[in-house]
Amino acid sequence: MEKIFEQIRNIGIIPVVKIDDAELASPLAKALIAGGLPAAEVTYRTYAAEETIKRITKEFPEMLVGAGTVINVTLAKSAIAAGAKFIVSPGFNPEVVDYCLQNKVPIIPGISSASQVEEALSRNITVLKLFPAEVVGGVKMIDALSGPFSQCMFMPTGGVNTENLSEYAKRKNVLAVGGTWMVKEDLINGKQWQKITSICKEAVLNLQGFAVGHIGMNAKGQDDARSFAEQFALFGYSANEGAPSIFSGTEFEIMKGNGRGTHGHICFTVNNVDRTLYYLSKFGYKPVMETAQYMGEKENSPMKFVYLDKDINGFAVHLKKN
């Protein structure tokens, strides 16, 4: 189960698909993969759901396919037999939850209250779907639940879109988000596969939340670094000196020696370092693990900082949780 949840975390957005014609399953899957979202939660809101799951799982083994709107055990059995790797329900149905647990199938039940979270925890379930997310409080609800239920991760669904995606993604207790905006019915029925791919690519980039944190520059030593800092002060950037470097404002870091990179480094802040590493791995980037720092004491906790193995024009690059 943990591997499935890790995949969901890495992908970050699970397209929630309502499809009326299973013949459209294959081109839809191709469009999602091309857009960088090799996943789908196929909802049991049409009779084509079972056949759609069968086709995608058979033709595209690289896709992570789950079943959504699973509101009873009969639908759960159908989804599992069709090849669904995980089950999602809009609410907390004990019969569905228990059936999935008994059959060792990952289940993400829907919750909208603290009481339902407690009911999930009584069954050792810590990955939950917040639904309908925007209606029940959105990111404010996510933040409120993080206090008493710090062990839980949520997949908010319902009202998530391009505009609020990054706000959800930066929350430490958000595993991923679910959404329909890239796979709306009219796009699927109109066979607008390139449009779907384009929307997916935009969503994947927005999910990362890339922003320049600061620019680092290498100096020859302490005196050289202080000289640079004095020059930045002329432009209104006050110096804050530390042991390894001097920050001029928050935008520039002057190293008291040769740090990583020929000239220095660039810090990119991101919503989730682990998820961004997955995204960048598709473009040949790897983390330099000896530089990694974690949000918890253990290395299996979320990462908060790491350098990448490739420079950009003589500047090393590191990621930092925003």
Same domain, 18 and 32: yes
Same domain, 11 and 94: yes
pLDDT of 161 reads 95
In the chain, the number of structural domains is 2
Residue 277 sits in a domain whose CATH number is 3.10.180.10
Strand order in the sheet with 153-154: 110-111, 127-130, 153-154
Same domain, 152 and 245: no
pLDDT of 263 reads 96
The H-assigned helical ranges of 35-180 are 49-59, 73-82, 94-102, 114-121, 138-146, 165-169
pLDDT of 297 reads 75
Question: Mean pLDDT throughout 145-172?
Answer: 96
pLDDT of 296 reads 84
pLDDT of 190 reads 98
Same domain, 6 and 141: yes
Among 160, 162, 163, 117, which residue's Cα sits nearest to residue 138? 160
User: Mind listing the pLDDT tens digit for each residue in 184-231?
Assistant: 999 999 999 999 999 999 999 999 999 999 999 999 999 999 999 999
pLDDT of 200 reads 98
- The yes-or-no verdict on residue 299 having pLDDT over 80 is no
Residue 161 CA, distance from chain mean position: 14
pLDDT of 264 reads 97
pLDDT of 47 reads 97
The torsion of the CA quartet 83, 87, 90, 96, rounded to 10 degrees, works out to 110
Same domain, 100 and 190: yes
Here the tokens at position 47 are 């009779």
User: Mind listing the pLDDT tens digit for each residue in 10-21?
Assistant: 999 999 999 999
In the listed set 176, 208, 240, which residue is the last one of a domain according to the structure?
208
User: Mind listing the pLDDT tens digit for each residue in 251-294?
Assistant: 999 999 988 999 999 999 999 999 999 999 999 999 999 999 99
Query: Could you tell me the pLDDT band of residue 69, with boundaries at 50, 70 and 90?
Result: very high
Same domain, 248 and 123: no
Question: Mean pLDDT throughout 33-40?
Answer: 98
Same domain, 200 and 247: no
Residue 7 sits in a domain whose CATH number is 3.20.20.70
Note if 241 is an active site residue: no
Among 110, 42, 125, 114, which residue's Cα sits nearest to residue 79? 42
- The yes-or-no verdict on residue 160 having pLDDT over 80 is yes
User: Mind listing the pLDDT tens digit for each residue in 39-63?
Assistant: 999 999 999 999 999 999 999 999 9
User: Mind listing the pLDDT tens digit for each residue in 81-119?
Assistant: 999 999 999 999 999 999 999 999 999 999 999 999 999
Same domain, 96 and 117: yes
Domain membership of residue 253 as a residue range? 211-321
Tell me which of 54, 129, 256, 321 is the catalytic residue. Answer: 129
Same domain, 157 and 224: no
In the listed set 208, 241, 269, which residue is the last one of a domain according to the structure?
208
pLDDT of 1 reads 64
Note if 41 is an active site residue: yes
Same domain, 259 and 302: yes
Same domain, 174 and 300: no
What does the mean pLDDT of the chain come to? 96
In the listed set 171, 189, 208, which residue is the last one of a domain according to the structure?
208
Same domain, 202 and 269: no
